[in-house]
Structure 1
Amino acid sequence: MTVAPSYEAARRIAAEGTPAERVALASRSEAAPEILYFLACDGRPTVRAAVAANAATPVQADTLLAGDDDPRVRAVVGRKLAPRAPELAAATDRLHNLAWSTLRALAADTAVMVRKVIAEELQAMPDAPRELILRLAQDTAIEVAEPVIRFSPLLTEEDLLALLSAPPVPATVTAVARRPHLSERLSEAVVARADEAATAALLANESAAIRERTLDRLVAEAATHTAWQDSLVRRSGLSAGAVLTLATMVADHLLAPLISRNDLDPSLARVLRARVALRLERRGEDSLSPELAFEEAALRGDRTRMLRLLAERSGVPVLAIEHVAQLRSAKALVSLCWKAGFDPRSALLAQGVLGHIPPDAAMPLPEAGGWPLTVAEMQWQIEVLTVPAAPAPRAAERRERLSA
């Protein structure tokens, strides 16, 4: 470290030294306040910037430099004062008040780069002055607003909802959508803005909580919003129906990550692989086997299609199947799947979707595989369903029986 110049030498350097000597002097922490104030008026921006960066610079010089013609110098003052914002805002003495007023003025500076520097310094500060945080979050320059919107712990859910309700610029909505750990309420508000870029940012935000019904709606719209598809195929929390819908619409290169998801139910994974294979072969929707079509209908919650497929394959009338479903007859539903020639796994789907039987009340499959009932038991269930009901007696016959 070089030896500090004497006071007289410092005065000479400040008045007559080379630019490099003046910068070095302006950077010294032990420089006299009046020397630093003198250098704050130096004709070289590099000298004034060195004074602005010096923690020993008197507040009066900082205030002077906060009005410098060069925004780079003003930005240096802002970067120095911003970390002290909590201390300055709480102080009551004259010099601290002056520094606080200087920082507030810089936060409203006409130059974006100056406001951006302050926003970057305050973005994650837990005790930053709320006044400054709100002002910066509402800035019309997104370079200024985004760091604060995304990372400030001081912004409440109500603050963010207000920004979404009346965004200063469209990009404000996208900045909110990128904020970590967004709540379902805020995600709904982002989607309600109907901004394609903001919705894409929300879907790419893995920590954002999004309701299943909202994701279902976005999946339905993704055919015409291709920018959403990449994030959707990787998005957790998708319903089975949403996954199957994506398989019909996303670009071919997104099918691989879709079927590679690690959160797929075994039945869904089986149907999805078959659906993707058919699509890549450019075959139609009806090319699925009846069993896979039944499973797909169950995963989508399409009870009408399930009833039709079960009736076609088992030979039991739809009305009879509807009746046992309403009775929540697990044995009858299992037997219908057996008669239809389906895999035993389909019996669980039939019980859950058609019969609305809770998982803990459903007839489980044997651990060794196969059906939970014997062939004789299942055959008897089918015979009961296919025996024609005796015709109701006519009125005259009823009277004769009653009088007998």
Structure 2
Amino acid sequence: MGRTSNANSKMTVFSYEENKLRAHSNETDVRVEVALASETEPEILYYLADDTDLNVRRSLAQNPATPVQANALLAKDEEDEVRQDLARKICKILPDLSGQDAAALQEKTIEVLEMLAEDQATTVRAIVSEALKDTMEAPRHIVLALARDLEEIVAGPILEYSPLLSDDDLIEIIASGVAVEALPAIARREAIGEDVSAAVAASLEIPAVAALLANPSAKVREETLDEIIDQAETVADLHEPLAMRLDLSLRAVRRIAGFVGASLVEKLARKRNLSPDVEADLKQIVRSRIDKAEEISALQEPGSALTAEALWATGTLDEERLTDAIKEKDHSFVATSLSLMTGFSQEKIQTMMEARNGKIVTSLCWKAGLSMRLAFKIQTKIAHVPRQEIVNARNGIEFPFTEEEMNWQLSFYTED
């Protein structure tokens, strides 16, 4: 049978024998045309899956008519571009599969999609994630796998938008160790429940907590907000999103006024349309705090008995003093005390604390001669160690590591 021409589209239709010859052509452009044409016979398209030219295989990956057997071969192609094109196509055609053999065809297509969702190239997995993020048609097990991906660019879109993820799914994902960079995506999710908000807050990850506070649709318990306020006292990045939160109780508002700047207190009062009496009360809290800070500053001039150095010199710097400083969120006092007790410079102490590593902080407290109970408090209240990395005591009071292990942890920061 010879070739025919469609007068309207001006597109030439080739016979089976002609396409066989064209698929073996030495001209790459001809083989590309065969690979792109939806009219090309499936067995010829399958043959082209092994073509040596990248452009031919990419064209085949883009063709919706390519048979699933050829797609399976392309999913293992050595070139990322081929697998990227295939990922875009598969995600697009999956919801449209229909007809007598739809079930079998869909099953085989999902197998190809599974391969792409586990691809070694982050870019391929990211394409799949972006394409499936807001659809109900996506296979749930693939969505869950993408949500647990270690790369934020892959996990983020699914975690933020996928309607297939329940609050229970999100809590389990957080508990099992979501990529830290992807945690804010959960916090930004529309209408997350109180348990999810509590799990995000408990992570102590500042960007995620800030995103949670900025999400007006997130449901947050008062107890969770109290925990966030405890953390926010010493974290400036949380001040504004916390002050702008509309579901704060009046008690929480007064607490916040105790540590945020005067300009934020004014914004807070305007945004919540507070009464003049309450606004005056908040301003008084700010003024009192400023006055108190000036008094403390005057008392803590060099040589004052209230400084950590003075307490150390007189032998009265102990766990009770440190416990009081932790309650007051006095980072400077705690850091200076640890420096004096360990002999490490304050710069090194600061670096260790900023690492937010439970093992490092625990080892540092051991070196300072402090108890494991105080080490736990410093981890959670001063260093803000993420929940999953907090080190707990053994038998309630003992350090859980050997001296050799703790010296090894410290050596990363103390050896030049």
Per the normalisation by structure 1, the TM-score is 0.61
Contact residue 63 and residue 102 of structure 1 kept, 8 A: yes
Whole-Å Cα distance in 2 between the matches of residues 109 and 240 of structure 1? Answer: 51
Identify which of 192, 205, 211 aligns with 2:221: 211
Q: Aligned to 1:249, what secondary structure does the other structure show?
A: coil
Q: Aligned to 2:130, what secondary structure does the other structure show?
A: helix
Contact residue 239 and residue 260 of structure 2 kept, 8 A: yes
Give the letter aligned to residue 260 of structure 1.
R
- What's 1:242 paired with? 252
- What's 2:235 paired with? 225
Tell me, which stretches of 5 or more residues in structure 2 are unaligned? 1-8, 295-416
2:67 is equivalent to residue 58 of structure 1: yes
Quote the sequence identity (%).
Answer: 35
Identify which of 147, 153, 175 aligns with 2:163: 153
Summarize the alignment of residues 337-376 of structure 1 with structure 2, pairs less than 5 Å apart: none
Query: How much does 1:227 deviate?
Result: 1.1
Whole-Å Cα distance in 2 between the matches of residues 285 and 67 of structure 1? Answer: 65
- What's 2:152 paired with? 142
Whole-Å Cα distance in 2 between the matches of residues 179 and 201 of structure 1? Answer: 9
Query: How much does 1:165 deviate?
Result: 1.4
Tell me, which stretches of 5 or more residues in structure 1 are unaligned? 287-404
Identify which of 42, 45, 55 aligns with 1:36: 45
Identify which of 197, 200, 203 aligns with 1:190: 200
Query: How much does 1:195 deviate?
Result: 2.2
Q: Aligned to 2:24, what secondary structure does the other structure show?
A: helix
Identify which of 6, 12, 22 aligns with 2:14: 6
- What's 2:330 paired with? none
Whole-Å Cα distance in 1 between the matches of residues 224 and 153 of structure 2? Answer: 29
Q: Can you list the C-alpha shifts for 1:128-186, whole angstroms capped at 9, x where unaligned? A: 22211221112222221121122112212221111121214333433322221111121
Q: Can you list the C-alpha shifts for 1:293-315, whole angstroms capped at 9, x where unaligned? A: xxxxxxxxxxxxxxxxxxxxxxx
C-alpha change, 1:97 and 1:259, in structure 2 (3 Å) is: closer
Whole-Å Cα distance in 1 between the matches of residues 21 and 258 of structure 2? Answer: 79
Query: How much does 1:97 deviate?
Result: 3.4
C-alpha change, 1:93 and 1:123, in structure 2 (3 Å) is: closer
Give the letter aligned to residue 75 of structure 1.
Q
C-alpha change, 1:92 and 1:29, in structure 2 (3 Å) is: closer
C-alpha change, 1:149 and 1:55, in structure 2 (3 Å) is: same
Give the letter aligned to residue 40 of structure 2.
A
Whole-Å Cα distance in 2 between the matches of residues 14 and 111 of structure 1? Answer: 30
- What's 1:371 paired with? none
Query: How much does 1:46 deviate?
Result: 2.6
2:193 is equivalent to residue 180 of structure 1: no
Contact residue 80 and residue 121 of structure 2 kept, 8 A: yes
Query: How much does 1:187 deviate?
Result: 0.8
- What's 2:25 paired with? 16
Contact residue 262 and residue 283 of structure 2 kept, 8 A: no
Give the letter aligned to residue 53 of structure 2.
R
C-alpha change, 1:179 and 1:93, in structure 2 (3 Å) is: closer
C-alpha change, 1:211 and 1:63, in structure 2 (3 Å) is: same
Contact residue 64 and residue 93 of structure 2 kept, 8 A: no
Query: How much does 1:272 deviate?
Result: 3.5
2:76 is equivalent to residue 67 of structure 1: yes
C-alpha change, 1:266 and 1:243, in structure 2 (3 Å) is: same
Per mean C-alpha deviation after superposition, the further-off stretch among 167-176 and 155-164 is: 167-176
What is the number of residues matched between the two proteins? 284
Whole-Å Cα distance in 2 between the matches of residues 9 and 253 of structure 1? Answer: 77
When the two chains are superposed, the root-mean-square deviation of aligned CA atoms in Å is 3.2
Query: How much does 1:83 deviate?
Result: 4.0
Query: How much does 1:65 deviate?
Result: 0.8
C-alpha change, 1:103 and 1:252, in structure 2 (3 Å) is: same
